[in-house]
Amino acid sequence: MKKTRRINLISNKNFESRKTSLQLVEKLEQRGFIISEKYDNNAELNICVGGDGAFLRAVHKNKFPSIPFVGINTGHLGFFQEILPIDIDSFINSYIDGDYLVETISLVDAEIHTKKKPYRLTGVNEIVVKSIRSKVIHLDLSIDGNHLEKFSGDGIIISTPVGSTAYSFSCGGSVVYPSLETLQITPLAPINSKAYRSLMNSAIVPGDLTITIVPETRYSNSTLIVNDGIEFKYDNIEFINLKMSNKKIYRLNFDRNMYWNNLKSKFL
């Protein structure tokens, strides 16, 4: 009995994405695949059509599934979305032939401890701790219980390796190869004066270390947590612990050199 091969197709609603999705459905069904109208946890592949924002929304909405993703880029930057619509036929052939690698993407967890209860967030690119209304904030930063600095500035970005080319990079952070299990601490507009001394550059630490951020008491109700661009506000924050998550997501790679080609084409 022939095995049913099912694929989840997740798409933006703009014209280019809808047009590309229709082409995908037609071509995949011709090759014997079933395309799910709703997200199916038994599918073998997630195809995301859109830009990087569409990819991040799909991952969060579907709670970091173990089903691997591949992205068709109808957006702009497209670091996660690596296949162009004109290459759909080549992509389908390579997928059927098994001519690809499965990459593991590491995530970052944040435990936000308030006076009443803890909350938990998981990020793909980064989790940012800053003040509401972009005011200067003062944060104590420790790594595995070792106090590093009393930060003063706009905030702190904790980014994953795949997130190193996102918000962190635009704020002067380093590019980190995706397979490295590390987290990067990048300051947002740090203040360095006679009154305040903050690290001016990013720091890369092993992912199994716990990064602890403690807002000054006066900022416990004015601290904003931004997870992959989505804002969260919690009252009476006592401290925030961040470390590499036990959760992983997976992405298909059809070109071993894609990362370096992407890096050059997007930024140079």
Three-point CA angle 9, 89, 61, nearest 5°: 15
CB 160 within 8 A of CB 211: no
β partners of residue 225:
129, 232
Can you give the C-alpha Rg of the chain in angstroms? 20
CB 137 within 8 A of CB 217: no
Report the C-alpha gap between 175 and 166 in whole angstroms: 9
CB 244 within 8 A of CB 183: yes
**Catalytic (active site) residue 52:** yes
| End-to-end CA gap in the chain | 51
Per the residue annotation, which of 40, 52, 208, 255 is the catalytic one? Answer: 52
Alpha-carbon distance values, 7 to 35, 63, 133, 199 (Å): 5, 17, 42, 47
Q: Which residues are catalytic?
A: 52
